[in-house]
Amino acid sequence: MNLVVDIGNTSVKMAVFQKNSLLDKRIFSLSDFFKNFRKIKDQFPEIKDCMLSSVVNTISEEKKILQQSTNLIELTPALSLPFKNKYATPSTLGKDRIALVAAAVAKFPQKNTLVVDAGTCVTFDFKNKKEEYLGGAISPGLEMRFKALHKFTANLPLLKPGENLQLIGTSTEGSINSGVVNGLLLEIEGVMASYATEYKDLTIILTGGDTQFLSMRLKNGIFANSNFLLEGLNHILEFNKTQ
């Protein structure tokens, strides 16, 4: 049984897998790490192996308890991956992007696959049918776009995505929502269309925190999967067990 731990800037995701099946998932703040780890270990005492991915450097105590309780593997640029990484600067490739490509390999083997991760940033990551990761793109996410309009202007308010989205904004709030949300939707659709033109039989995955909000508004055929990153980390863990 596997434990996958993803420590981000704002929250921790912890998931339990039996082989490739997700059994449990929880999201919490880093300050609640030890409490949640004890609960999940009590609930699943069969946990043996652990994959840790973290963008936070000051987690020595958290890492220590994982090492004491599991066979810990930490995601680093030197770790063996289930795909050929053709990124020009592999040491700078984000751990989240590595995990998403690994999930694409596991879920869609030998298929051209574009993964769109809509979170703090929107990332586009592409692997071809030869299981080669070629790269992608990084763009500001929804929340970042709203914050930028507020921070870098004198009078524009800070908003969140609105449900009543209009093409023609009839107020300042409506105009901001139209510009930010429609702009991002058209950007994503444009990128997907460009990839689909160049790579036939393209599979597209949408994941990340804004998946639900965006998936209802995107016109192109996509697979929405909010657990894709965790599944990718688990696949890397399984892959390294056999190395």
Binding-site residue positions for substrate: 87, 94-97, 172
Cα–Cα distances in Å, from 175 out to 153, 178, 181, 219?
A: 15, 5, 10, 22
Find the largest Cα–Cα distance for the chain: 59
Residue 78, pLDDT above cutoff 90: no
Pairing mode, strands 203-207 and 223-224:
parallel
CATH architecture designation of domain 84-233? 2-Layer Sandwich (3.30)
CATH number at 2-74: 3.30.420.40
Give me the residue spans of the domains in the chain.
2-74, 84-233
Which residue ranges are tagged as binding site for K(+)?
117
Active site residue 96: yes
Count the helix, strand and coil residues of the chain and give each as a percent rounded to the nearest 5.
40, 25, 35
Tell me: the pLDDT tens digits for 49-71? 999 999 888 888 999 999 999 99
From the candidates 49, 96, 125, 210, which is the catalytic residue? 96
- Sheet strands (E) in the chain: 2-7, 12-18, 21-28, 49-54, 71-74, 84-85, 113-118, 121-127, 132-140, 203-207, 223-224
Q: Which two tokens stand for residue 210?
A: 């804004």
Known binding residues for ATP are 6-13, 120
pLDDT per residue as tens digits for the range 162-188: 878 899 999 999 999 999 999 999 999
196 falls in which pLDDT band (50, 70, 90)? very high
